[in-house]
Structure 1
Amino acid sequence: MAFFGTLISAFPILLLIWLMTKKEALPSHIALPISALLVGVIQLFYFQADGRLLAANIISGVLSVITPISIIAGAILLNRVLAISGAESVIARWLKSISTNAIAQLMIIGWAFAFMLEGASGFGTPAAIAAPMLVGLGFHPLKIAILALIMNSVPVSFGAVGTPIWFGLEALNLDQEQIFEVATQTALINSMAAFVIPVLALKFVVSWQMIRQNIVFILLSILSCTIPYYWIATWNYEFPSLIGGAIGLMVSIVLAKRGIGLQKTQEESDENGLYKEAIVPFKTLIFALLPLVLLIVILIVTRISQLGIKGLLTDMSVWFGFDIGGTYFSVSQALVLSVENILQTSVSWSYKALYVPALIPFLLVVLISIPLLKMSRSNVVEAFSDTGRRIKLPLVSLAAALIMVNFMMLGGEHSPIFLIANAFSSVTGDNWSYFSAFLGALGSFFSGSATVSNLTFGAIQQSIAVQVGLPISAILALQSAGAAMGNMVCINNIIAVSTILGIANKEGYIIKQTILPMIVYGFIAAIVGMFLVAF
């Protein structure tokens, strides 16, 4: 009976993957609603779930889509403002003046810059900002979408100022020593994977020959991020990605500027040494870069708890609220919207309007940039209309994905997702460390968040470690690293980056491309985990 329950729980996932990756693949806005409906039917008729509880989870899923879609809309809007105003082309010319080498551009923006952004914000912000910049340099959008997803894995464990660690593992009652042990081992696993993962990402955009010719620069750029990343993780779990990425970005720019480890391109071999068209007046460059600089500064300032602004933006003190038939709606003083006891169930929802990076910083930066970049009324209308047009179908896809996630997690220890996890652990026994990371990836695949993956599966991983006699810190580190690697195949992230880059109906294709690097990441995690468990 347990086997049949696991099989029927896994069927909607397998169906979804097949629908999105078969020869004539269905787009996500069709495949996801089908899968969500199937999970709902299974919950209702096989697991005997309460109808009201299912309805409450549908409402929660629909409301939850406000978070990712508002972030996507904000990112698209900023991108359209930069593109329509001409700032994007100015930035592209400046980046070419640093280096016309494609590898240098991909590593500076797609790796180091995105690494820093992940440390500051998370929420899919790295791909939302870095990917359009690379497309602006002339790279193919679909290839860049794949590269951005693969690259944005290593820093994720410490994304959004360490949220997956300090919040994702909060319920496990670990002491500070254990948390630092988990953080250090997570950073070690990710750092080892970093020797391979960026190279695999680059292969989707450039040739192996170009990678080999520039391998010294690639390795130096990787190490410039991962060395400080690992070192900081040994004594702090909030800033490894943020500071590691900032150091890596500066070092990578200096290396590229001096041509260290890079093969010279034709333009750089010219007698003047620089591609003439790439030279940008300083004042023009400052105005073009100001929106991005402002975006990063606001992200950092609003994410560091010690500065006090984060507390103001997340204050839950109720401003006003009212009851509607047993469902309580409230708005906090920091404009946190909350709905509790949906349909008189335990299901709830909240949206931190000032903290989710949609209004602050995306919309705020856009409003500042419009006069700064001297945009006309018609340009502004074009930017907003383009944004609205692009988010229509992703809205359906994301709503269906979030409803499906809610359904899969409904039932506590008897939920479909827990049955699948328990089946994995019962089959592997004391060899669990080889598979632990893949469970973390499964959590991210569903939820779209490394933090949610840690919240969901952290307790299971801890329980399995105790049952089979494995070190708890090592297994939790594998869970955390796995949650990061799952970012590559996460449906929410794929929809987000595709929408921002204007790519339609390619979600299944992207999953097929990113799953192999994720599996490679998992094997590396398993090997490192083997040593962590043994020693």
Structure 2
Amino acid sequence: MNLPDLTFMNILLAALPILVVLYLMVGRRWGGSKAGPAGWATAVFVSVLFFGAGGKLLLVAWGKAILLAFFVLYVIWMALLLYHTVNEAGVITVIGQEMPGLAHDRAGQGLLLAWIFGSFLQGATGFGVPAAVVAPLLVGLGFAADTAVVTALLGHAWAVTFGSLGSSFLSLMAATGLPGEVLASPAAILLGVCGLGCGAGVLWLSGGKTGFRQRGMFLVIMAAIMAAVQWGLAQLGLWTVAAFGSGLVGLLVAMVWFTRQANSNGRTRFHPRRLLQAFFPYWVLIIVIVLGQLVFKKTLAVWIINPEFPEVVTRFGWQTPAGTGRSINVFGHAGALLLYVSVFTYFWYRWRGTWQAELGQDKPYDYRLILRKTWQGSIKPTVGIYSLVAMALTMQHAGMTQLLAEALSATGMAFPFLSPFIGALGAFMTGSNTNSNVVFGELQRQTAVSLGVSVSLILAAQTAGGAIGSLFAPAKVIVGCSTVSGAKDSQVLKLATAYGLAIVFMTGLLVWLVAWGLTG
């Protein structure tokens, strides 16, 4: 016997760590840095007492968790460092000042700021930054406070998986053990469809029926362009810049589109040279990532952490074979490339001067302030992600995930439809698509194998659902409301959930049709 019997009580015990995290984050409003350790402790308790895990098994699971978590956190830490490096130089402020001058109608402003600019910010930074930056810009253009926050949250949600320099996609790779080459294409295609849904939601919130008449064609064309760019970059293996690149191309196309329109109407309030100069750090980022991942990939692979772990077995006979954990290319990892860009950008602005003087701010450009803000912003994500990764790997090594997969496989034909809802649930309860992929990625993979449906399609549904689910995650709603006076968390959450679930439903229906079409 490999696992305990498939009874209701054993299924409940296997799901208990997830239920604890869900209860604490949703019911008690704990953050991931507090709920994660509680879920981890629950997983240890259940695995030892009811699934036959021993000390060796737990140590192996936790050792692998260190590598897997570091693989994801390396990107998060360095993405935060880059964000604070450019933000302290005034870059984000300048970009935010120039963007509204491109469009003059409300529908166009909503699409440009919340959908296109927000997607670019998600690709480059993430961690709630797009909502926090875009929402007050929309309020300044006359949007109601609650509507502004929901619009900002909705616009960039489709870019979450490949955003934050690919941290969510990397976590899906790490949690499932599958290569990015297998996962990238279906994920990018499904997220492209979600991108159209997010853009349509933004357009409706911004202009209603009139907005669709004014900007419907622009919406469809831009959705196709950004989805195609994201898919193309993902296909090339440039997962860390797929969302960033699609947002950047979207911005460039929109700049040309709106500038020509404004010039024909004699209403130009936009300074293209100033905006292009503000984007300098991101031009550098593109160059460094392309060089690091295509040209000098082998050169940078001089130090790879790749330890071996022994075989472990539970008391019931559930076996995890010996093998390596998540390998980490210390100098060629996406996090390392972000570090190189951050250091270069800092010294560039120290040499050339920042935007602060032009913005009327007498603020020193101090590396100590940048490092302090990066450190402060990294603590909670680090604790939350490691504890959730340790919880997930403890469950996996003890056979708890496999038991849940066998239970979910009983849903049969309904499972592909439910798959994106599971991803959305993970993002809702943890506040992060990255965490959702860690918690549910392996569960979804094993369930897909049990049912005989496409694993890559189900995992695409998992991360697409997690991306859209992040827009109505309470933790993200709070971030969005934090920069807008008068925005009410409860109202924003209610409206964001309605739009988010509509897109998740559409995604689930599409996945269901494709899954059973592929299997005949």
Task: Determine if the TM-score, normalized by the shorter chain, exceeds 0.5.
Answer: yes
1:36 is aligned to 40
Of 474, 479, 483 in structure 1, the residue corresponding to residue 463 of structure 2 is 483
- Aligned AA for 1:423? A
Q: Secondary structure at the match of 2:366?
A: helix
Give 2:267's match in structure 1, choosing from 270, 273, 277. 273
Equivalent position to 2:390, from 403, 407, 426: 403
Question: After superposition, what is the alpha-carbon deviation per residue over 1:431-455, rounded to whole angstroms, capped at 9, x for unaligned?
Answer: 4443344456678878637699766
Question: Cα–Cα, structure 1 residues 238 and 56, in superposed 2: closer, same or farther, change >3 Å?
Answer: closer
Q: Distance in 1 between matches of 2:424 and 2:135?
A: 28
Task: Answer yes or no: is the 8 Å Cα contact 1:98–1:256 preserved in 2.
Answer: yes
The question of whether the paired residues in 2 share the 8 Å contact of 1:56 and 1:347 is answered with no
Answer whether contact 1:443 1:452 (CA < 8 A) is retained.
yes
SS of 1:26's equivalent in the other structure is coil
Q: SS where residue 328 of structure 2 aligns?
A: strand
Q: 2:25 aligns with which of 12, 17, 20?
A: 20
Q: 1:251 aligned to 253, 263, 278, which one?
A: 253
Report what 1:322 is aligned to.
none
Secondary structure in structure 1 of the residue aligned to 2:298: helix
Q: Which letter does structure 1 place at the counterpart of 2:253?
A: V
1: CA distance, partners of 2:171 / 2:383: 27
User: Shift of residue 51 of structure 1?
Assistant: 1.8
2:350 matches 1:371: yes
SS of 2:30's equivalent in the other structure is coil
1:111-131 CA-to-partner distances (Å, cap 9, x unmatched) read 44676788xxx7x85567755
What residue is the counterpart of 1:150 in the other structure?
Answer: 157
Is the 2:194–2:507 Cα contact (8 Å) retained in structure 1? yes
1:341 and 2:328 matched: no
3-state DSSP class of the match of 2:305? strand
Q: Does 1:525 align with 2:507?
A: yes
Segments of 5+ residues of structure 1 without an aligned counterpart are: 261-267, 316-332, 466-471
TM superposition score normalised by structure 2: 0.70
Q: Go from structure 1 to structure 2 and tell me whether the alpha carbon gap of 1:106 and 1:61 turns closer, same or farther (over 3 Å shift).
A: farther
Distance in 2, matches of 1:432 and 1:51, equals 35
Report 1:449-528 matches (<5 A). 457-458=444-445, 460-465=447-452, 472-473=453-454, 476-489=456-469, 517=499, 519-528=501-510
Q: Secondary structure at the match of 2:279?
A: helix
Normalized against structure 1, the TM-score is what? 0.69
CA distance in 2, matches of 1:195, 1:391: 32
Aligned length: 471
Q: How far apart, in 1, do the equivalents of 2:418 and 2:220 lie?
A: 28
Shift of 1:7: 1.1
Distance 1:496 1:74 in 2: 20
Residues 53, 171 of structure 1: alpha-carbon distance in 2 compared, 3 angstrom cutoff: same
CA separation in 1, counterparts of 2:75 and 2:44?
27
Give per-residue Cα distances to partners, 1:64-85, cap 9 Å, x unaligned: 4444444333333333333332
Q: In the TM superposition, what whole-angstrom CA distance separates every residue of 1:39-83 from its partner, at most 9, and x where no partner exists?
A: 111111111211232234334435544444443333333333333
Partner of 2:316: none
Q: 2:328 aligns with which of 351, 354, 375?
A: 351
Q: Answer yes or no: is 1:47 the counterpart of 2:47.
A: no
> Which position in structure 2 is the counterpart of 1:263?
none
Contact kept? 1:64, 1:402, Cα under 8 Å: yes
User: Given the superposition, is the C-alpha separation of residues 425 and 112 from structure 1 closer, same or farther in structure 2, using an over 3 Å criterion?
Assistant: same
Question: Cα deviation per residue 1:283-303 (whole Å; 9 max; x = unaligned)?
Answer: x54543211211122223333
Corresponding position of 1:86: 90
Q: CA deviation at 1:200?
A: 3.6
| CA spacing shift, 1:208–1:431, aligned 2, 3 Å | same
CA contact (8 A) 1:79 1:129 kept: no
CA distance in 2, matches of 1:403, 1:500: 29
Q: 1:418-457 counterparts in 2 under 5 A?
A: 418-426=402-410, 428-438=411-421, 448=435, 457=444
- Amino acid of the residue matched to residue 353 of structure 2? K
What is the RMSD computed on CA atoms of the aligned residues?
Answer: 5.0
| Change in CA separation of 1:407 and 1:107 when aligned onto 2, cut-off 3 Å | farther
- The corresponding residue for 1:326 is none
Give distance in 2, aligned partners of 1:501 and 1:342: 47
Q: Take 2:466 and 2:482, find their aligned partners in 1: how far apart are those partners? A: 23
Which moves more between the two structures, 512-521 or 86-95? 512-521
Q: Which residue of 1 aligns with 2:196?
A: 195
Quick one: which amino acid aligns to residue 274 of structure 1?
Answer: T
Distance 1:168 1:41 in 2: 22
Question: Which digits, 9 at most, give the CA deviation of each residue in 1:509-535, with x for residues without a partner?
Answer: 998876655543442234324543347
Assess, with a 3 A threshold, how the Cα gap between structure 1 residues 161 and 73 changes in structure 2: closer, same or farther. Answer: closer
Unaligned runs of 5+ in 2: 140-144, 313-321, 355-362
Distance 1:36 1:383 in 2: 32
Letter matched to residue 481 of structure 1: A
Residue 404 to residue 89, structure 1, CA distance change in 2 (3 Å): same
User: CA contact under 8 A between 2:350 and 2:365: conserved in structure 1?
Assistant: no
SS of the residue 1:435 aligns to: helix
The alpha carbon displacement at 1:161 in A equals 13
Q: Which residue type is aligned with residue 134 of structure 1?
A: V
Contact 2:103–2:258 (CA<8 Å) still a contact in 1?
yes
Q: Is this contact kept in 1: 2:120–2:247, CA < 8 A?
A: yes
Alignment of 1:42-121 (within 5 A): 42-62=46-66, 64-99=68-103, 104=108, 107-108=111-112, 111-112=115-116
CA distance in 2, matches of 1:479, 1:101: 39
* C-alpha distance 295-110 of structure 1, shift in aligned 2 (>3 A): farther
Instruction: Give the distance between the partners of 1:190 and 1:486, measured in 2 at CA.
Output: 11
Task: Tell me the distance in 2 between the aligned counterparts of 1:399 and 1:451.
Answer: 10
Tell me by how many angstroms 1:385 deviates: 2.0
TM-superposed deviation, 1:397? 2.1
Deviation of 1:96 (Å): 3.0
Q: Which deviates more, 388-397 or 436-445?
A: 436-445
Quote the residue 1:390 is aligned against: 377
